[in-house]
Structure 1
Amino acid sequence: MNDLTPDSSERLDVSAPSAEKDIALFANLLGDVLREYSRKRVLVVVERLRDGFLTLREQDDPELRAKLMKRIDQLDPQTLSEVIRAYTIYFSLAHIAEEVQSFLARRSRISAGGRLWRGSFDHTLRQFAEEGVSAERFQTLLDRLVYLPVFTAHPTEAKRRTTLETQRRIFLLMLDWRRSVLNAEEEQDRMAEILREIQILWKTDEVRVHKPQVTDEVRQGLYFFHASLFETLPQIYRNLERAVRRAYGPESDIRVPSFVAFGSWIGGDRDGNPFVKPDTTALAVRMHCEEALTEYIRRVKALTRILSHSNTLVQPSQAFLDSLDEDEDYWLGAMGQTPRRYYHEPYRRKLAIVRHRLETNLARVQARIAHPEAPTDIIKGYDDAESVLSDLHLIRDSLVSHGDASAADGPLADLIRLVESFGFHLVQLDVRQESTRHTAAVTELFARQPGAPFYESYTEPQKLQALAQAIAHPYPFLIDKGTLTPDTRETLEVFEVMARMRAEISARVFGSYVISMTHHASHVMEVMLLARLAGLAGKTPKGWHCDIRIAPLFETIDDLERIDTVMSALFDNETYAALLKASGNLQEVMLGYSDSCKDGGIMSSAWNLYEAQEKIVALAEGRGVHCRLFHGRGGTIGRGGGPTHESILSQPDDTVHGQIKFTEQGEVLSYRYANPETALYELTMGISGLVKASRCVIEPPPKPRKDYLGIMAELARCGEEAYRELVDAEGLLDYFYEVTPVDAIALLNIGSRPSHRKKADRSLNSIRAIPWVFGWAQSRHTIPAWYGIGSAIERWRGGDLERLAKLQKMYEEWPFFRAILSNTQMSLFKAEMHIAASYTQLATDKDRAARIYGLIAAEYERTRTQVLNIAGLHGLMEETPDLQLSLARRNTYLDPLNHVQIALLQRYRSSPDQDDREQWLDPLLRSINAVAAGMRNTG
């Protein structure tokens, strides 16, 4: 059976009565809170709107619809805000109930002792062993693995950290209740505790009063580490080691390296965000370091209480004893204590030094956070994380030497895993900027040199030659920074900050320098020249050196189509090839899902991304270069989202060579990482997908069927034509701005980044992919995720049953095609054409709106019909009934919310004066948050 084919015998049942029971309990408790603490009418309005729109969903009734809309129109702003908040809290509670039941279902499967679900380490490794993958070959694969999720802040999670913390408490209370045997009184106590937390939720404003600063976004990203990931990551490795022993036997000497790392764009992504300055990047790096050190110190304190071994009862290793002797000067000098403390408890004595050194490092970084210009001669405890690991390894090896391997394998092993994974940097911060900023800076630098020609007048080969010569030159430019334009000065300072933070914190502190809108090879070489000026790259008498990894980002359809031309010019440039080799011979290439989808539609985007991956990997291999693909995925299908496991498996064969890097955006962060129990599952599924997709590292991959590739190319062409017919239709953009709340989205305090590249430009090129996808999702069109697929399939197959059978076989056999149509089903399920039609009443030109809506509705039905025919289903998402039920539950409350939002948009946009307009803004913004929570989409 194909790995993407659902298997009912292995499905995790979260639609069981227990989930329904918990959701009903939460709803009743929320009703109690509303009854006591809201306006008197709120609970009645919530229930009547819910019941009324549920009736309309079953059968349309114009009279009832008019009655419901009249009820909404009669509500004042404050009552509307409370109604919306009630729905929002219901969505969060329903999600908690489902998450609890998912976790319990997994634990039940584990307790039963049988095979676990597809995507578990147990199932994956047993499959490998049964199919003849030897322990030696599996070790080779493990040694090549890099799993690298990258947290981003566009958009930031709509939920505040305060709300996440309250939801976490409710999750734990319900989980403990369902796992415990309680008497009647204890159940009443537990229910009272949950009621109290729901009451707190109701009295906590979930909408931010102010737009977040970049530092707020950094803290938001850090939340998931101390709330979840510090606990989860060591458990991931423990589970994988256990699965190895089960699959390959307890005598196996397979070693699991620390291959999971995390990246971030928060504080480094300055593309279109004027609030990310060089100082912001430095602050983000220091905050990351502070978080890591704080966690290490906490764990060292705990270890000190545990490792109380006495040297009168055990004999530590000689290497460990020698290190204690070497520590005496540190005891007397830096610590100001006599080495007699813990005299007979050697491990406590060593850990006291480890703790003191880490605390010294922490004090140093906190001083820099408080005062960025603090003296650089502040004492260091440890020079780097490798020195910490050296001390921890000494303790571990010594414990093993006298028969205490069990003590070494507990919290100490977990701490070692964390330091191996997070170092002093916590995350690898990527820096991103648009190519035009670098071109402008380089043009100005050349122009300031005596007798220099006009750089912009050069042809592409001439630019590459001039850049290569400047990079290799010992003194490429004479620069007086005071005379440069502010933009160029700031661009140079970014690279100077990178060099400074590498020296101050760690050489691993930065991931890649991402160049958005990379159109030419010179765009990469321009960045390399700017890095050269900061000392990050260049040539010395000893040879080339390079301390920066540059990742060109190919975003549009045109960029994806010429990816091989750009990268060939780079790989064939002697200077760039030498620098690449000096940096480890690994080329990272980022692929943009969002803009390519906005540019050419989902079908064309998916196929161009597929072909681009094949081209760049083959090109790199031909030059002897390792290539890592960086997938710029969003939370929604229209921005490359979807289940991580299936997404990795759907990549082209022989392109995932042990490494995967991808962005984790928006609401995805809280859904996947807010609770350790869920984070463990999500990381496991992603890693197992990486392991399966990387089998090409140890054996030849199957050759793709050429007939499938040819069909897909034709479908992509037809899909792009259909999509462009829509976006090029007269009035489409006016329709978008009028029938979606995109104007209000720009006012929502969920991210520091502007929604448009150019403020007054309302063109398709100017609007960012996030509000483009977000706006369509709010009004239940969701067209970026499916539009054009139905037309493409219909045009290719016509009425030919043989062609339908071919597509059905593709769906069954080809993970890439299956993933596209599975994700399409989810997007079609979230779309609601009858609700989308209601939003058209917001349009000023009703005839034009009706025409455009007609195009969209017809394509919806066309896509739905074709997808169901190929999948052999009667209804959308029949293959994933649990997710189907979960989304259907939300529709009961989404329907009234969407109609409330329509009424609010009408009032907000038609209000004659500013004061009247402002009173409707608060409930309007809350409605956007609420719909996003219900659909589980922020863009």
Structure 2
Amino acid sequence: MKNESPPAAALERDIQLFTALLSEVLRAHGRKRLLVIVERLRDGFMQLRNNENPQLRARLMQRIETLDPQTLAEVIRAFSLYFGLINVAEELNAHLARMELIAAGERLWIGSFDDTVRRLKEDGLTPQQLQNLLDRLRYLPVFTAHPTEARRQVLSESFRRLFLASQDLHRLRLNDEEREDKLQEILTQIQILWKTDEVRIHKPQVSDEIRRGLYFFRESLFDAVPRVYRFLEKAIRRAYGIDCGVQVPSFIRFGSWIGGDRDGNPFVKPETTELAVRMHAELIIETYLDRVQRLNRLLSHSSTLCTPSPAFLDSLDADEEYWQEVMGQRPRRFLHEPYRRKLALMAHRLEANLARIRRRLAGGEINGLPLGYASDAAFLHDLYLIRDSLIHHGDANAAAGPLQDLIRLAETFGFHLVHLDIRQEASRHTQAVSELFTRQPGAPYYQAFNEEQRLMALSEAIAHPHPFIIDKSTLTPETRETLETFEVIARMRAEIGAPVFGQYVISMTHTARQVLEVMLLARLAGLLGLDNQGWFCTLQVSPLFETIQDLERIDQVMGTLFQDPTYRALLRASGNQQEVMLGYSDSCKDGGILASSWRLFEAQKKIMALTEEHGINCRIFHGRGGTVGRGGGPTHEAILSQPVDTVHGQIKFTEQGEVLSYRYANPETARYELTMGISGLTKVSRCLIEPVRPEHPDYLAIMDELARLGETAYRTLIYETPGFLDFFYECTPVDGIALLNIGSRPAHRQRADRSLTSIRAIPWVFGWGQARITLPAWYGIGSALEGYRSDDPERLAKLQAMYRDWPYFRALLSNTQMSLFKAEMGISRQYLKLAEEEGRAAEIFARIEAEYRRTVKQVLEVTGLESLMDETPDLRHSLARRNLYLDPLNHIQVTVLQRYRSEQDKTWQEAWLDPLLRSINAIAAGLRNTG
């Protein structure tokens, strides 16, 4: 402890405190001898990690095997709660360390606004150049529901209370009695957590996932977003001066797939999307109403002591009509308090908006209800009037507080909260369009056409004033539902507002024709078409390219689309911006991490060059997951590693699974994550205002070869090794993952199909992670580096230069190190006991282990490090700390899987299912980014 820095020492003290209090709870409220069992397993496996001892290992396994299901479940719960407590301690101490840096007045960490803006100033950017850059920024995280978020919302709320109580211990000056009270509060929270079941009894519905998504906005982001803007404004004033004239626009927006993503999820229906949109609107209107009412108590200025602006006074005159026509009275209150009078009317209008939304949520009619605000723009206009009027009579400081925060929220969230993307698989649209053509008398047989003929038929139908005669009663249920989805989009746009939806994402896009099929279906719902004024289009489509093959032909597909006159006209009518989504998950599952990463890199270069050639603005949508094998990793580094001159001020990416909790559950951490992402976006968008240096041609050629070698190694293992998929299904707990009630989406596209194409990328990555193999994140990298290098020292020197100089390659190998560190071949070997043919499983595992050792060796030699993660010691220490409890958990999981799979008696099998599901939850909590 002596050599640790003060922040590290404080963290260790908090962990020791939490561990001691957890022990008290286990002693008082756990099963008999539970604490003894937990400590002996923890200490025993810690000894094994330091020094292998077969006799000790046998004793520990015997102890595990003698425990009944209920006792094992409690042991697992204790380990799981320990991980939750570690997460709180680390998150809290990271926040406190940042606050100490800020208080010291020194230059802040890389990725902070302070450091980023100072660097821009030092590099010679003028205030006008900075303004030009800020005006073109758009930062757009998209929240998705995926079966990797294991934590229940009630647990998140308890951990939040624990975070705040622990923060008080650090930041408040407490006497002995107050400190004892605070410790008792922490103990109480841990006791409550111990007695709260972390495993859901029922599988969540989509509506539950929508509510879960709303939690992050209500509890964290409504606080974090305005503060992020304040931090950026302060950084600009420090670097450029208070009179520099730079204004920070509101460029953060949020998207969501929850309630809109129907690809492979049969539970997302048109009515589900309606529900999501209305729940979003209800939450944001509630928030505005609460803040307006608080402002009403704050802005108590008297007209006898100050004179509002003429524009504001004119608006009060106009409000008189609303009071009389809608409320049937003249305003009596606040006659000499103009802002309170204005805010009272604003609150009334918001209440009217809220009443209409709630009536619709309840399934009732809204006839006769007051209209309220016609749009979010009208609400914002009123807020601007108050702000400008306060500034007009010298009260700019009053305008800069809660009022400005509310303005930031309204500019960010509108009346829709998030842009809800709709996603559906391409074949569903083809099925619907084919059926519609078939039902038309004399219509050509669409399915018999080649691609060129189909494009022509679609273009003609889109331009036709009445393309189809449709009798919905004669259509298949699938086609009816597809048409109704587009009708819901049109209806909700009219009800809530145009920004309510983001993009229509077409997954598994293989051809240009599949995009025009969506446009035709949208045409039937009135979302686009040709009228007396020309083309109009209110739907923006984002084709999703997921497999290695699709990524390689992305320019061919999009090039065909951009040459189609109908599509170009629709694109221009919708704003001339094309969004293209890239899927990280399936491409990695398909061809391995190196081929996936590199094809994604190349795809971005291709699509940006193509859109520039056609005079189209382009935004890349990154379909990232939580793990490295699904495009995960630190956001700041991920953005910096994008290809040069491809991020033109805008970045859109998915935030999935447990990542939502770790990044956005606490406003303190949410502010940090948003700041790091925005600063990364700012840095890579300098290409908008100054020339950039392209990537080194040698580096690109080397990566071509590495990707080829890595893909060959990966495909040889996955596709050409007999019994490999049996190994995956038998030697990982993927069957348990499918039973865990942590997501509405099925784990397989087709239930009985155990093929690689059927299993979704998320359980694919989740399963390997649970067994501590983490294979999708690193397999093939060692073979590729070794194959390229051979024994040539010059080639090693080139790889080392790439790691040093090229952000893309550096991020790739940095993320690889984290995945290799999380892998534990000694523990993974224990899962071989689960194989039906243990000999064949051992042969496959030997190949995996050899590649693991090869990858570790090659990565260390290229990076010049002595051990993995030497450059990120805090993160390494954090992961190592979790191994104390992960090691016994994995051994428990192997035992429980054996019992569950071999048990013939259904009652006993159910008894073993409970500790199995809890072990999956616990290991997920320990590894943190599992899906």
Under a length normalisation based on structure 2, what TM-score does the superposition of the two structures give? 0.99
In the other structure, the counterpart of 2:785 is 793
Q: What is the CA–CA distance in structure 2 between the aligned matches of 1:640 and 1:588, rounded to whole Å?
A: 19
What letter corresponds to residue 429 of structure 1 in structure 2? L
Q: What is the CA–CA distance in structure 2 between the aligned matches of 1:325 and 1:374, rounded to whole Å?
A: 32
- Where do residues 694-705 of structure 1 align in structure 2 (5 Å cutoff)? 694-705=685-696
Q: What is the CA–CA distance in structure 1 between the aligned matches of 2:330 and 2:85, rounded to whole Å?
A: 55
- C-alpha displacement of 1:379: 2.8
Query: Does the CA contact (< 8 Å) of 2:783 and 2:851 recur in 1?
Result: yes
What letter corresponds to residue 809 of structure 1 in structure 2? A
Find 1:805's aligned residue among 797, 805, 811.
797
- Whether 1:301 aligns to 2:293 is yes
Q: What is the CA–CA distance in structure 2 between the aligned matches of 1:386 and 1:671, rounded to whole Å?
A: 33
Q: What is the CA–CA distance in structure 2 between the aligned matches of 1:15 and 1:596, rounded to whole Å?
A: 40
Query: Does the CA contact (< 8 Å) of 1:430 and 1:512 recur in 2?
Result: yes
SS at 2:422's partner residue? strand
Q: What is the CA–CA distance in structure 2 between the aligned matches of 1:898 and 1:384, rounded to whole Å?
A: 54
- C-alpha displacement of 1:157: 2.1
- Whether 1:631 aligns to 2:622 is yes
- C-alpha displacement of 1:633: 0.2
Gaps of 5+ in 1: 1-11
- Where do residues 578-597 of structure 1 align in structure 2 (5 Å cutoff)? 578-597=569-588
Find 2:753's aligned residue among 761, 773, 782.
761
- C-alpha displacement of 1:132: 0.8
In the other structure, the counterpart of 1:613 is 604
Find 2:306's aligned residue among 293, 301, 314.
314
- Whether 1:216 aligns to 2:212 is no
Q: What is the CA–CA distance in structure 2 between the aligned matches of 1:365 and 1:432, rounded to whole Å?
A: 25
More moved, 14-23 vs 316-325: 14-23
Find 1:341's aligned residue among 333, 337, 344.
333
In the other structure, the counterpart of 1:352 is 344
Find 1:574's aligned residue among 543, 565, 585.
565
- C-alpha displacement of 1:376: 5.7
SS at 1:338's partner residue? coil
Q: 1:62 to 1:15 in 2, by over 3 A?
A: farther
In the other structure, the counterpart of 2:37 is 45
In the other structure, the counterpart of 1:663 is 654
- Whether 1:92 aligns to 2:84 is yes
- C-alpha displacement of 1:181: 2.1
- Whether 1:652 aligns to 2:643 is yes
- C-alpha displacement of 1:913: 1.6
- Per-residue CA shift, 1:470-528, capped at 9, x if unaligned? 00000000111111110000000000000000000010000000000000000100000
- C-alpha displacement of 1:454: 1.5
- C-alpha displacement of 1:174: 0.6
- Where do residues 863-878 of structure 1 align in structure 2 (5 Å cutoff)? 863-878=855-870
Q: What is the CA–CA distance in structure 1 between the aligned matches of 2:238 and 2:329, rounded to whole Å?
A: 49
What letter corresponds to residue 824 of structure 2 in structure 1? E
What letter corresponds to residue 420 of structure 1 in structure 2? E
- Whether 1:374 aligns to 2:374 is no
What letter corresponds to residue 26 of structure 2 in structure 1? L
In the other structure, the counterpart of 2:916 is 924
Q: What is the CA–CA distance in structure 2 between the aligned matches of 1:788 and 1:160, rounded to whole Å?
A: 36
Q: What is the CA–CA distance in structure 1 between the aligned matches of 2:694 and 2:95, rounded to whole Å?
A: 38
Find 2:98's aligned residue among 79, 91, 106.
106
Query: Does the CA contact (< 8 Å) of 1:15 and 1:885 recur in 2?
Result: no
What letter corresponds to residue 902 of structure 1 in structure 2? V
- Whether 1:146 aligns to 2:138 is yes
In the other structure, the counterpart of 1:198 is 190
- Whether 1:261 aligns to 2:257 is no
Q: What is the CA–CA distance in structure 1 between the aligned matches of 2:175 and 2:824, rounded to whole Å?
A: 45
- Whether 1:171 aligns to 2:169 is no
Find 1:499's aligned residue among 490, 502, 505.
490
- Where do residues 812-851 of structure 1 align in structure 2 (5 Å cutoff)? 812-851=804-843
- C-alpha displacement of 1:156: 5.5
In the other structure, the counterpart of 1:207 is 199
What letter corresponds to residue 599 of structure 1 in structure 2? D
SS at 1:844's partner residue? coil
Find 1:180's aligned residue among 168, 172, 176.
172
- Whether 1:449 aligns to 2:440 is yes
- Whether 1:271 aligns to 2:286 is no
- C-alpha displacement of 1:687: 0.2
Q: What is the CA–CA distance in structure 2 between the aligned matches of 1:722 and 1:183, rounded to whole Å?
A: 63
SS at 2:215's partner residue? helix
Q: What is the CA–CA distance in structure 1 between the aligned matches of 2:806 and 2:387, rounded to whole Å?
A: 47
Find 2:280's aligned residue among 269, 282, 288.
288
Q: 1:376 to 1:796 in 2, by over 3 A?
A: farther
Q: What is the CA–CA distance in structure 2 between the aligned matches of 1:384 and 1:400, rounded to whole Å?
A: 25
SS at 2:499's partner residue? coil
Q: What is the CA–CA distance in structure 2 between the aligned matches of 1:378 and 1:833, rounded to whole Å?
A: 65
Query: Does the CA contact (< 8 Å) of 1:617 and 1:627 recur in 2?
Result: yes
Find 2:46's aligned residue among 47, 50, 54.
54
What letter corresponds to residue 120 of structure 1 in structure 2? S
SS at 1:328's partner residue? helix
In the other structure, the counterpart of 2:671 is 680
What letter corresponds to residue 181 of structure 2 in structure 1? D
- Whether 1:80 aligns to 2:72 is yes
In the other structure, the counterpart of 1:862 is 854
- Whether 1:398 aligns to 2:383 is no
- Where do residues 736-747 of structure 1 align in structure 2 (5 Å cutoff)? 736-747=728-739
- C-alpha displacement of 1:836: 0.5
Q: What is the CA–CA distance in structure 2 between the aligned matches of 1:766 and 1:692, rounded to whole Å?
A: 40
- Whether 1:601 aligns to 2:562 is no
What letter corresponds to residue 710 of structure 1 in structure 2? A
Query: Does the CA contact (< 8 Å) of 2:326 and 2:370 recur in 1?
Result: no
- C-alpha displacement of 1:329: 2.0
SS at 1:327's partner residue? helix
Q: What is the CA–CA distance in structure 2 between the aligned matches of 1:806 and 1:71, rounded to whole Å?
A: 52
Query: Does the CA contact (< 8 Å) of 2:148 and 2:762 recur in 1?
Result: no
In the other structure, the counterpart of 1:770 is 762
Query: Does the CA contact (< 8 Å) of 1:14 and 1:882 recur in 2?
Result: no
- C-alpha displacement of 1:759: 0.7
Query: Does the CA contact (< 8 Å) of 1:14 and 1:101 recur in 2?
Result: no
Q: What is the CA–CA distance in structure 1 between the aligned matches of 2:896 and 2:365, rounded to whole Å?
A: 51
Figure out how many residues of one structure are paired with residues of the other and give that number.
927
Query: Does the CA contact (< 8 Å) of 1:568 and 1:619 recur in 2?
Result: yes
- Where do residues 466-615 of structure 1 align in structure 2 (5 Å cutoff)? 466-615=457-606
- Whether 1:419 aligns to 2:410 is yes
In the other structure, the counterpart of 2:684 is 693
Query: Does the CA contact (< 8 Å) of 1:825 and 1:876 recur in 2?
Result: yes
Query: Does the CA contact (< 8 Å) of 1:602 and 1:638 recur in 2?
Result: yes
- Per-residue CA shift, 1:300-344, capped at 9, x if unaligned? 011000000000100011111111111112222323443121000
- Per-residue CA shift, 1:283-313, capped at 9, x if unaligned? 0000000010010011001100000000010
Gaps of 5+ in 2: none
Q: What is the CA–CA distance in structure 2 between the aligned matches of 1:204 and 1:359, rounded to whole Å?
A: 36
What letter corresponds to residue 610 of structure 2 in structure 1? L
Q: CA RMSD in A?
A: 1.0
- C-alpha displacement of 1:203: 0.6
Q: What is the CA–CA distance in structure 2 between the aligned matches of 1:573 and 1:413, rounded to whole Å?
A: 46
Query: Does the CA contact (< 8 Å) of 1:155 and 1:665 recur in 2?
Result: no
Q: What is the CA–CA distance in structure 1 between the aligned matches of 2:175 and 2:405, rounded to whole Å?
A: 37
SS at 2:444's partner residue? coil
- Per-residue CA shift, 1:849-891, capped at 9, x if unaligned? 0100000000000000000111111111010000000000000
Q: 1:721 to 1:156 in 2, by over 3 A?
A: closer
- Per-residue CA shift, 1:667-707, capped at 9, x if unaligned? 10010000011100010000000000101000111111100
Q: What is the CA–CA distance in structure 2 between the aligned matches of 1:15 and 1:529, rounded to whole Å?
A: 59
- Per-residue CA shift, 1:222-278, capped at 9, x if unaligned? 000011000000001111111111111111111111000000000000000000000
- Per-residue CA shift, 1:437-460, capped at 9, x if unaligned? 000000000011111121111111
Q: What is the CA–CA distance in structure 2 between the aligned matches of 1:335 and 1:264, rounded to whole Å?
A: 37
- C-alpha displacement of 1:14: 8.7
Query: Does the CA contact (< 8 Å) of 2:352 and 2:369 recur in 1?
Result: no
Query: Does the CA contact (< 8 Å) of 1:594 and 1:640 recur in 2?
Result: yes
- C-alpha displacement of 1:41: 1.7
**Percent identical across equivalent pairs?**
66
